[in-house]
């Protein structure tokens, strides 16, 4: 039997899917454009703005559901986590914009080899896609994998960030350091999605 809360829950699910899709688009566009030497600041900003608009709508909907329907524990965990995760996705949009902004601010970076960024870019995009899949399926195995991946990203970041000072170009070192930091923060937000999925399923925070 359909419950009164089921239609708004379905609407929430639809908006969260839109947030997921936008987060993948913005992350992929920002990283690829940086490595390809393209200025995608305006396009990434538009995606980021769409995510902020969705976040506001999700916030209104979640509060309405809590006030009107007094959700049971399992529904409440999903509603609460959806709000938290949607905020995390807006941060992914913001970091994507920050990456695009680096390219826009620093201009031509063709002299930069971007070895460190190339090495980490694939892992970050993988984590964002995995976080989306994890939330869509409430898969605890994927949640555990996100935590493992985030720890590897942290190790890579801590190892390679100091090495940037050895670059001959100050501009390349600064640009890569900024982008590396933004990508490390993206990994943190992707891992948080996994932790939230554990909370939705089990009612506990496993990692944080």
The residue extents of the domains of the chain are 6-202
Q: How far apart are CA 50 and CA 44, in angstroms?
A: 10
State mean pLDDT over 161-189: 94
pLDDT at 207 (0 to 100): 59
pLDDT in tens, 16-70: 999 999 999 999 999 999 999 999 999 999 999 999 999 999 999 999 999 999 9
Instruction: Give burial (CB, 10 Å; 0-12/13-18/19+) of 179.
Output: buried
**Ranges of H-type helices in the chain:** 6-36, 41-69, 73-106, 115-137, 140-160, 170-202
pLDDT in tens, 116-131: 899 999 999 999 999 9
pLDDT at 114 (0 to 100): 85
Q: Which fold has domain 6-202?
A: Methane Monooxygenase Hydroxylase; Chain G, domain 1 (1.20.58)
Q: Tell which residue, 79, 197, 99, 104, has the closest CA to residue 144.
A: 197
């Amino acid at each position: 039997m359909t419950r009164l809360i089921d239609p708004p829950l379905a609407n929430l699910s639809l908006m969260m899917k839109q947030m997921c899709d936008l987060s993948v688009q913005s992350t992929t566009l920002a990283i690829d454009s940086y490595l390809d030497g393209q200025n995608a600041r305006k396009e990434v900003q538009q995606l980021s703005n769409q995510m902020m608009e969705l976040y506001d709508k999700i916030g209104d909907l979640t509060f309405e559901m809590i006030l009107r329907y007094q959700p049971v524990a399992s529904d409440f965990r999903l509603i609460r986590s959806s709000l938290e995760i949607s905020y995390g996705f807006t941060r992914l949009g913001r970091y994507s914009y920050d990456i695009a902004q680096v390219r826009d601010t620093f201009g031509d970076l063709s002299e930069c080899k971007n070895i460190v960024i190339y090495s980490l870019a694939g892992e970050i995009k993988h984590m964002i896609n995995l976080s989306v899949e994890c939330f869509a399926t409430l898969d605890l195995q994927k949640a555990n994998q996100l935590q493992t991946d985030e720890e590897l990203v942290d190790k890579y970041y801590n190892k390679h960030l100091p090495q940037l000072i050895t670059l001959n170009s100050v501009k390349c070192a600064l640009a890569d350091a900024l982008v590396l930091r933004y990508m490390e923060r993206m990994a943190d937000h992707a891992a948080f999605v996994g932790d939230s999925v554990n909370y939705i399923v089990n009612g506990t925070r496993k990692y944080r």
